[in-house]
Structure 1
Amino acid sequence: MHRRSQDGCINSIIANAKIGDEYITHRQMMGYYIIAATAGHDTTANTTSAAMWALAQNPEVFAQLKSDPGAKTGFIEESIRWATPVKHFMRTAVVDAEVAGKKVRKGDWIMLSYHSANRDEEVFEDPFEFRIDRPLHKHVAFGSGPHVCLGQHLARLEMRILWEELIPRLASVSLDGEPQLTKSSFVCGPKSVPIRFALA
């Protein structure tokens, strides 16, 4: 009942939203409804399946999580960085600027590659390694500034609950086949992660 009332509140806000004195268009409204209904599903599912893939390939990380429950925060953040389920967004420059020596003119389209940023050697030591001891919150998987993901806290909570419940029940986990990635340039992650596991 509480969840239904929250959904109704969000739907009402969208239905009555205005930009200036004008109600938003039907297309804008439908875009917000679709985002609210689906955005958190694919991204969180892709991150958790990528995290399981990483666990199956890194038994030392699995052992650390078993022995130190406090390591889950670092594991979750590294999973988000590692998966980066939203690969890019397009933005339009509103002023002339220079970024990393490249001139950007007002009106130019810019592709923000979150996947690339989360593998930036100037920001992350050994960026192509799965390491749960990294400084927290340096990744940009949730975006930043006015475009930051509103669902980031719920996503982290969902992942924390999953791993808090699942890891104590597992004695081991390993790959049992070749994982496959979804083919997409926008939102994607593992399509299948075959694993072999033993219960604790």
Structure 2
Amino acid sequence: MDKPLGQLEAMSYYIIAAAAGHDTTSNTAAGALWGLAENPDRFRKVKADLSMIPAMAEASVRWETPAKHFMRTATADTQVAGKAIKKGDWLFLSYPPGNRDEAVFEDASTFMADRTPNKHVAFGYGAHVCLGQRLARMEMRVLWEELLARLKSAELSRAARRTQANFGPGPQEVPIRFEMG
């Protein structure tokens, strides 16, 4: 491209970046609160050692996987898990199953705030890696540093619910009972 983005293209980019960052980070934070509220022992463990917060942010991204899927086009003939893929084939990348793969993650369906290693694919990979990943990590770290310093306890007051959406179905309602302290 030999010229800057036009006003429409630039505004479109800013709108999608702001919306994507808001929805994914808020869904991830709500998912982490859900995971902690369902597991008071894990809540207490993180509360007792706030140095776990960066690992908990990564665990919440894996656990919630805010961007659920993308389509890509194969740029070369290849093979994945014994399946031939031809150049030009469309590929449906579904991130939640990758982040819950029992071959990669021990006890993959459990929220563990201190999970290591944690080689999740929630931010994508390579040329398509999330541009906002560093900002998202910082926002989650600051949120949990400030919130956990003030909360004594948090537990679900009734069942949490998910939104029914195709691309980013995050938590719709995470009703908690909490105590400050």
Q: Compare CA radii of gyration and give the structure with the larger one.
A: 1
Q: Which amino acid aligns with 1:154?
A: L
Is residue 2:38 matched to residue 1:96? no
5+ residue gaps, structure 2, are none
| 89 and 27 in structure 1: CA distance in 2 versus 1, 3 angstrom threshold | farther
Post-superposition shift, 1:37?
2.4
Distance, in Å, in 2 between the alignment partners of 1:67 and 1:74 is 14
- Whether the 8 Å CA contact 2:30–2:174 is kept in 1: the answer is yes
TM-score (norm 1): 0.84
Sequence identity of aligned pairs in percent?
A: 54
- Whether the 8 Å CA contact 1:181–1:192 is kept in 2: the answer is yes
Distance, in Å, in 1 between the alignment partners of 2:101 and 2:8 is 36
Distance, in Å, in 1 between the alignment partners of 2:15 and 2:141 is 25
Alignment of 1:84-163 (within 5 A): 84-163=65-144
Describe the SS at the equivalent of 2:167: coil
Q: 2:26 aligns with which of 45, 48, 60?
A: 45
User: Cα RMSD over matched residues?
Assistant: 1.8
Post-superposition shift, 1:33?
3.0
Post-superposition shift, 1:125?
0.7
Q: Bigger shift: 50-59 or 67-76?
A: 67-76
- Whether the 8 Å CA contact 1:74–1:133 is kept in 2: the answer is yes
Alignment of 1:25-64 (within 5 A): 29=10, 31-64=12-45
> Moved runs in structure 1, 4+ residues, more than 6 A?
none
Matching residue of 1:185: 166
Distance, in Å, in 2 between the alignment partners of 1:108 and 1:29 is 30
Distance, in Å, in 1 between the alignment partners of 2:11 and 2:79 is 35
Post-superposition shift, 1:36?
2.1
5+ residue gaps, structure 1, are 1-18
Post-superposition shift, 1:27?
7.3
Q: Which amino acid aligns with 1:179?
A: A
Distance, in Å, in 1 between the alignment partners of 2:150 and 2:82 is 51
Is residue 2:60 matched to residue 1:79? yes
